Amino acid sequence: MSGPPDASLAAVLRQAQELGFLGERPIPEVIEHARSYSRALMGVTGRVLDLGSGGGVPGLVIANDRPDLEVVLLDRRTKRTDFLERAVRRLRWTARVEVVAGEAADHLRAEAGTFAAVVARGFGPGEATLRLAAQAVRTGGLIVISEPPEGGPDRWPDDLLVDLGVERGSRIGAVATFRKGHRG
């Protein structure tokens, strides 16, 4: 996980950046930030959902670092999902990476509670992101959300966590983790 990324992955991410699907950060920094998600997913097996995949970060980096996982890249913008489908074919990951175009809430009606983990980077406001992620992840599953540099524990009020049935985990690099538990 700490070595250099596959050259093909870096090329795909550069193309995503050229198309305006990623910010202006240098690609090695983008990859290193995304690797915070890969590190947070240690011990996770099964399907992982990337909410709002955009240009493929962190989902494509997770797929690169964790070929044992099945990764679902979900974005509502078909221009981005068309790009991601081509990228997945180019990287020869079609057997383990699925691209889905659609609204997260619509997709999750059929997939609620089926993911081992959900990751999100810049998907939307923290509370809305956590609510969708908690709906998607199965009991015992992991949620990993990007944290702003100033993000603190009060960003995630205790009453919200109780309402969603999730427990605060730790901050790993630039991401916060949560575990979905049993209600009651």
Closest CA to 57 of 85, 17, 94: 17
**Looking at the predicted structure, is the pLDDT value of residue 86 above 80?**
yes
Cα–Cα distance, 63 to 9 (Å, whole number)? 10
User: Looking at the predicted structure, is the pLDDT value of residue 155 above 90?
Assistant: no
Confidence band, pLDDT 50/70/90 cuts, at residue 69: very high
Q: Convert the pLDDT of each residue in 93-126 to its tens digit.
A: 999 999 999 999 888 888 989 999 999 998 888 8
Mean pLDDT of all residues belonging to the chain: 90
What's the sign of the alpha-carbon dihedral 136, 107, 35, 41? positive
Q: Per CATH, is 7-180 categorized as 3.40.50.150?
A: yes
Say if residues 52 and 28 touch (Cβ distance below 8 Å): no
Residues 6+ apart with CB under 8 A from 165: 134, 180, 181, 182, 183
Question: In this structure, are residues 42 and 66 in contact, taking their beta carbons and an 8 Å threshold?
Answer: no
Q: Could you state, in order of their start, the residue ranges of all structural domains in the chain? A: 7-180
Task: Give percent above pLDDT 70 in the chain.
Answer: 92
Burial of 3 (0-12, 13-18, 19+ CB in 10 A): exposed
What is the C-alpha separation between 79 and 127, in angstroms, rounded?
27
What are the structure tokens assigned to 108, written together?
A: 């999750």
